[in-house]
């Protein structure tokens, strides 16, 4: 379900506050100066000092709560420590709001024109979600400003001006889309900017740093990848990867028909001691991968699985943003009902651009579709009770919860969005008899003049209108059917329309997959860590019926100590064997013997060419600029 039009209209009014995202606010009496002292990064201790112009009387300040791109109220307020307010050198008492832990109240004394605020941010060494998780090591730091700022209530983020300064450990270098005003040694002043731009403009810094220009030939806008890593060696990028990234920049312009930034930075952090994910911004992305990812044979696969997605967000999610997510500041709750588009379209565009740029091979592209088709079908019986739309609506409450993924469903609007938008692409192709493509839709919806970073909010109806401008079709009915379905089957029509068949057979996949080993998932219905820990057990599957669930640990197979190969052997032999597979599991300190009644042998998901139809999938994902 999409939210009713009346509510959408109200939210669009709210969103209108954040339309003008560049330039400085006029209503502001003066900029807030903010100094972030990161010299104690190795101790995971980041100090903030702010000087806020203030009038005498009550003042309310917010710590950012709803974090753009994370779609939930997960600002890491628990890591804020040492909070102190002073005016004219005197300490002023503060109190936290009784109904909102992100809100702080102070009384500014008479005779005061500015308030000084000091606090420390403790960089976590474990736990947390996305940017709230590990972000600093002995050698580097990722600074997302929402973690290090308090801002006054009452004005939109676009109308509060900050003048930032950063102090880094000696000799550390940095990358950011922010404009450097002045640098003296390890102290850097940045040009004043709005709170909205500040939160949208992270910084990566470290002892080991490298910037590589990836501007395609003839492209007027500068693009670079800034890399910080835990070692010098990890910064080494092959010419093939550099070419892939340069082609990615070119292919994105071809797909979207416009850019909405004046400069773009891929901010890549390579460390085994930070959380691994990516977060989108208008003029950059904050992407984090293991330290040695550039050195291994799968560098293209790993980078292609992350950077094109985060880059595509500059158009989908940052420039075009659901009105429900374009909130005026970070205290107003976000509504996530259009994430099947914001994230779902991006999850379609990311792999598509990975393939078109050559970071992925055509086979990588198909493998990804194969894996998600299996995972979202047999691997996800939860789809029989929970429609796709609800996985988006409820993301801030449930979609990233661990365990029971098959029955709970996860953030399925990502991967299922890929299948949904692939189907859209094939419908456009068919309805226009090959005259129009998904690229035409992208030009219509994400194009327009480049005014630098800006937000153009949209509704469900805007998506439908844009699709209809390219190909006449009952898009609203189509989208509602896909979003509200409780069918046990994933939407594979797009794959079929594109000339390929999804099926299972007994041939193992040729190469490593993004979704890990699937040998047990589509047979006995178990997802296992290498040590035998059960991360998921498909509800209604053979192992589940035998009593095995998430959190248990398999320690024995048919009377022998558990080993992954032994289990694979048992599954392979199951076809000829009338006896069940016996698994010994540990649960809550007890051993339990479970008889898994399975006799179908190995099963792996595959895509196979359907020779009765043209191969549109290969044409769609082939390079478009060369
Ligand atoms: Zn995303």
pLDDT value, residue 3: 22
pLDDT value, residue 203: 98
pLDDT value, residue 9: 33
Distance, CA 602 to ligand 1 centroid (Å)? 34
Distance CA 438, CA 444 (A): 10
Distance, CA 570 to ligand 1 centroid (Å)? 39
What share of the chain in percent tops pLDDT 90?
91
pLDDT confidence bin for 508, thresholds 50/70/90: confident
Distance, CA 297 to ligand 1 centroid (Å)? 25
pLDDT confidence bin for 511, thresholds 50/70/90: low
Distance, CA 287 to ligand 1 centroid (Å)? 11
pLDDT at 18 over 60: no
Distance, CA 520 to ligand 1 centroid (Å)? 29
| pLDDT tens profile 420-460 | 999 999 999 999 999 999 999 999 999 999 999 999 999 99
Distance, CA 391 to ligand 1 centroid (Å)? 15
| pLDDT tens profile 305-328 | 999 999 999 999 999 999 999 999
Residue 46's contacts (CB-CB under 8 Å, 6 or more residues apart) are 36, 37, 38, 40, 120, 121, 122, 123, 136, 141, 143, 147, 148
396 vs 417 pLDDT, higher one: 417
Stretch 172-188: mean pLDDT: 98
- The pTM of this model reads 0.93
pLDDT at 526 over 70: yes
| Bridge pairing between strands 590-596 and 581-587 | antiparallel
| pLDDT tens profile 84-102 | 999 999 999 999 999 999 9
pLDDT value, residue 626: 63
- Looking at residue 379, the DSSP 8-state letter turns out to be T
Distance, CA 584 to ligand 1 centroid (Å)? 40
pLDDT confidence bin for 510, thresholds 50/70/90: confident
Distance, CA 107 to ligand 1 centroid (Å)? 40
- Alpha helices by DSSP H, listed for 280-361, are 299-304, 307-312, 339-357
223 vs 512 pLDDT, higher one: 223
Distance, CA 531 to ligand 1 centroid (Å)? 31
| pLDDT tens profile 117-148 | 999 999 999 888 899 999 999 999 999 999 99
pLDDT at 618 over 90: yes
626 vs 578 pLDDT, higher one: 578
Stretch 207-235: mean pLDDT: 98
H or E element in which residue 564 lies: helix 564-573
Distance, CA 30 to ligand 1 centroid (Å)? 35
pLDDT at 386 over 50: yes
CB atoms inside a 10 Å sphere around CB 16: 15
Is residue 384 within 8 Å of residue 410, measured between CB atoms? no
pLDDT value, residue 512: 56
pLDDT value, residue 127: 86
Distance, CA 344 to ligand 1 centroid (Å)? 8
Residue 569, helix vs strand vs coil:
helix
pLDDT confidence bin for 465, thresholds 50/70/90: very high
Stretch 542-568: mean pLDDT: 96
Q: How much is the mean pLDDT over the chain?
A: 93
Distance, CA 312 to ligand 1 centroid (Å)? 9
Distance, CA 347 to ligand 1 centroid (Å)? 7
Phi, psi for 331 (deg, rounded to 5): -100, -30
What share of the chain in percent tops pLDDT 70?
93
pLDDT value, residue 401: 67
Distance CA 494, CA 502 (A): 11
């Amino acid at each position: 379900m999409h939210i009713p039009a009346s509510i959408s209209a109200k939210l669009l009014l709210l969103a209108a506050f954040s339309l003008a995202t560049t330039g400085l606010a006029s209503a502001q009496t003066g900029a807030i100066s903010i100094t972030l002292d990161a010299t104690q990064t190795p101790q995971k201790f980041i100090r903030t000092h702010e000087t806020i112009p203030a009038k005498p009387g009550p003042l309310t300040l917010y710590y950012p709560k709803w974090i753009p791109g994370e779609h939930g109220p997960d600002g890491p307020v628990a890591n804020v420590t040492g909070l102190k307010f002073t005016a004219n050198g005197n300490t002023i008492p503060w109190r936290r709001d009784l109904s909102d832990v992100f809100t702080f109240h102070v009384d500014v004394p008479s005779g005061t024109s500015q308030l000084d605020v000091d606090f420390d941010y403790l960089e976590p060494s474990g736990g947390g979600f996305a940017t709230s998780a590990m972000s600093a090591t002995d050698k580097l730091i990722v600074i997302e400003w929402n973690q290090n700022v308090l801002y006054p209530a009452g004005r939109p983020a676009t109308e509060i001006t900050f003048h930032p300064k950063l102090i880094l450990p000696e000799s550390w270098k940095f990358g950011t889309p922010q404009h450097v005003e002045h640098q003296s040694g390890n102290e850097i002043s940045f040009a004043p900017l709005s709170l909205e731009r500040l939160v949208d403009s992270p910084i990566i810094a470290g002892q080991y740093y490298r910037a590589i220009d990836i501007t395609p030939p003839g492209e007027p806008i500068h693009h670079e990848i800034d890399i910080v890593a835990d070692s010098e060696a990890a910064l080494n990028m092959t010419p093939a990867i550099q070419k892939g990234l340069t082609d990615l920049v070119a292919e994105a312009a071809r797909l979207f028909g416009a850019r909405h930034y004046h400069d773009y930075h891929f901010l890549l952090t390579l460390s085994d001691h930070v959380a691994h994910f990516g977060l989108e911004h208008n003029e950059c992305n904050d992407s984090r991968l293991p330290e040695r990812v550039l050195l291994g044979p799968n560098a293209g696969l790993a980078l292609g699985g992350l950077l094109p997605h985060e880059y595509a967000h500059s158009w989908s999610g940052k420039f075009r943003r659901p009105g429900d997510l374009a909130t005026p500041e970070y205290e107003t709750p976000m509504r996530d009902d259009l994430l099947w588009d914001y994230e779902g379209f991006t999850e379609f565009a990311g792999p598509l651009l990975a393939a078109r740029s050559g970071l992925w091979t055509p086979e990588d592209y198909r493998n990804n579709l194969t894996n998600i088709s299996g995972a979202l079908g047999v691997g996800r019986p939860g789809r029989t009770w929970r429609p796709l739309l609800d996985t988006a609506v409820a993301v801030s409450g449930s979609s990233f919860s661990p365990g029971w993924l098959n029955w709970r469903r996860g953030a399925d609007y990502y991967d299922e969005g890929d299948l949904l938008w692939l189907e859209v692409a094939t419908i456009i192709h068919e309805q226009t008899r090959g005259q129009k493509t998904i690229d035409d839709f992208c030009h219509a919806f994400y194009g327009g003049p480049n005014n630098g970073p800006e937000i153009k909010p949209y509704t469900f109806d805007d998506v439908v209108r844009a699709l209809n401008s390219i190909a006449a079709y009952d898009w609203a009915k189509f989208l509602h059917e896909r979003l509200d379905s409780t069918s046990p089957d994933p939407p594979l029509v797009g794959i079929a329309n594109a000339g390929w068949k999804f099926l299972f057979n007994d041939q193992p996949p040729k190469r490593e997959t993004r979704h890990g080993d699937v040998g047990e998932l589509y047979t006995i219905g178990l997802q296992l860590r290498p040590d035998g820990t059960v991360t998921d057990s498909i509800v209604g599957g053979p192992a589940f019926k035998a009593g095995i669930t998430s959190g248990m640990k398999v320690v024995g197979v048919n009377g022998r100590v558990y080993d992954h190969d032994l289990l694979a052997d048992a599954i392979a032999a199951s076809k000829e064997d009338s006896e069940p597979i016996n698994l010994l599991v540990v649960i809550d300190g007890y051993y339990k013997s479970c008889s898994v009644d399975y006799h179908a042998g190995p099963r792996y998901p595959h895509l196979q060419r359907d020779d009765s139809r043209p191969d549109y999938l290969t044409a769609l994902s082939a390079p478009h600029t060369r």
